[in-house]
A and B are shown apart, each in its own frame.
Chain A
């Protein structure tokens, strides 16, 4: 009797969670297909994909995402490697620094960033190119908690010291150790960090909005103000994108379980 009752409540809560998750998703999907009166159609999606502004802002955010990912990797992998190899006593401090973007609300951080770098002596917001530098720096900071954690966890699963000594004894220099030994061993960790960072940059509103750059976030807000059906289509597309990123992470980390540390070529 007792177990039956527990099962009923478990079932109740799980069903409620399913409804809360799937009703808005289904509602959005249904809504996005009703642009043409009376029939289900993909018109809203066609309209979105045909909008040159959508393509431009998506391309801009995607490029920003890729640049952010590249610079994050180049910044964090050597740092985490060096901390694991030589400066273990610094790990707690660096860990606290890397979760700062969780403690400081994004809007507060962006506020500080704009006020600091828009005026003299830096004046980084005068040209689009300089503003983009500021954008990438901001994105790297915002994605840092995810990127650092992913690389840190990955670094813990490999024997950094042995790999380094082996590479050194074969005559490798630091660049060779990093690029031919450490990077290949961390590829799963780097990939999951990269995918999360990329998804974050694509969906980010605040930086692009307040630095007045043509990113996807501000574009979506604008569409939401002016249109009825396209926002629903955009929401479904971002669901799909988030799903793909998370799915790829699961896929890569699962396939990597079978293989252990690999050594450089």
Chain B
């Protein structure tokens, strides 16, 4: 910092001279982060490679190949992939409609506001909302249930009761429907900037060169959008993969997601070896780390494209 020597007040006393004094200013932050974030995480990860006596072992990794554990990972991955794909595609179309579709302005502003709300509205209340809507006595269930008519034999039939047709909110299908409630708004929020970066001139240029709409999309728009579409989809994946509260409140923990399994482990219900729980947790972080690395790489590519 340039100091002004003509100043009568000794400015210098407030200026730490060495790199060392500079570090003091951010020391509280790093101490806090180390104690309450880094240290517990490291503790968890090292615990995954220890037995209960504290000796190094790879036995906990073998626990990860236990069929029960593998199934929970498969279920978590399944829910995350389905909801991020369906929510991502749906959200993309809605965002595209908002940005390019000449929809009325009031619709746009309501949809953007609601995306912010719905993307932040998760956890237990979300599960309650879906139970009140699609549960056994829910609002939509009641409407569908009451569509009845007398058949040829004079018997009342109500063919649209979802629970007679194999639907169950407290199942994987129900979980997917519920997650999509916060997934597609998240997609709208993250993809809209990229869609706004698509320049009208590009479409005009490709039309002037005789390209069809299909060619414009496959040759121009999608290659530019693809990195951010994939990046956003990964973000969606992460938010579904780590979700716990909604699943717990919706199904009471009856669906074995990895997060639910870890929850039972913390309560001490299921596994009697906490180090196996550490391995379970480490597996989740490894999956997430892959996703985030991919996201970062793709994000860099997008920004490079859109700067053109």
Indicate, yes or no, whether A interacts with B.
yes
Residues of A in contact with B (beta carbons under 8 Å apart): 2-3, 6-7, 9-14, 16-18, 20-21, 23-28, 30-32, 75-76, 78-79, 82-83, 86-87, 90, 94, 97, 100-117, 137-138, 140-141, 161, 164-165, 168-171, 173-174, 196, 199, 203-206, 210, 217, 220-221, 224-225, 228, 231-232, 234-235, 238-239, 242-243, 246
The number of residue pairs between A and B whose CB atoms lie closer than 8 Å in the complex comes to 259
Is there contact, CB below 8 Å, between B43 and A116? yes
- For B129, give its contact among A24, A174, A204 (CB under 8 Å): A24
Is there contact, CB below 8 Å, between B14 and A173? yes
Is there contact, CB below 8 Å, between B242 and A106? yes
- For A246, give its contact among B9, B11, B111, B116 (CB under 8 Å): B116
Is there contact, CB below 8 Å, between A86 and B22? yes
Given contacts A115-B47, A205-B245, contact A17 B277 (CB under 8 A): no
A245 → chain B closest CB, angstroms: 8
Q: Which residues of A contact B116 (CB under 8 A)?
A: 246
List 10 additional contacts besides A109-B41, A140-B36; criterion CB under 8 Å: A10-B97, A11-B97, A13-B94, A16-B94, A27-B140, A94-B26, A104-B288, A117-B40, A224-B128, A235-B125
B209 interfacial contact with A, CB 8 Å: no
Residues of B in contact with A (beta carbons under 8 Å apart): 1, 4, 7, 9, 11, 14, 16, 22-23, 25-26, 28-29, 32-33, 35-37, 39-41, 43-44, 47, 90, 93-94, 96-98, 100-103, 107, 110-111, 113-114, 116-118, 120-134, 137-140, 180-181, 184-185, 188, 213, 238, 241-242, 244-245, 248-249, 252, 259, 262-263, 265-267, 274, 277-278, 281, 284-285, 288-289, 292
Q: Which residues of B contact A220 (CB under 8 A)?
A: 124-125, 128, 249
| Alpha-carbon separation in the docked complex, A96 to B36 (Å) | 16
Is there contact, CB below 8 Å, between B111 and A14? yes
Is there contact, CB below 8 Å, between B47 and A231? no
Q: Which residues of B contact A10 (CB under 8 A)?
A: 96-98, 100-103
Q: Which residues of B contact A210 (CB under 8 A)?
A: 263, 266-267
| Alpha-carbon separation in the docked complex, A6 to B11 (Å) | 64
Is there contact, CB below 8 Å, between A221 and B124? yes
B89 → chain A closest CB, angstroms: 10
The binding surface of chain A is classed by DSSP as helix
Is there contact, CB below 8 Å, between B129 and A27? yes
B110 → chain A closest CB, angstroms: 8
Is there contact, CB below 8 Å, between A78 and B180? no
Smallest CB-CB separation from A217: which chain B residue?
A: B124
- For A112, give its contact among B44, B140, B289 (CB under 8 Å): B44
Is there contact, CB below 8 Å, between B97 and A14? yes
| Alpha-carbon separation in the docked complex, A94 to B30 (Å) | 9
| Alpha-carbon separation in the docked complex, A107 to B266 (Å) | 9
| Alpha-carbon separation in the docked complex, A83 to B116 (Å) | 30
Residue in A21, A26, A111, A173 with the greatest tally of chain B CB atoms within 10 Å: A111
Q: Which residues of A contact B98 (CB under 8 A)?
A: 10, 14
B148 → chain A closest CB, angstroms: 20
Is there contact, CB below 8 Å, between A20 and B121? no
- For A199, give its contact among B96, B113, B120, B248 (CB under 8 Å): B120
Is there contact, CB below 8 Å, between B132 and A232? yes
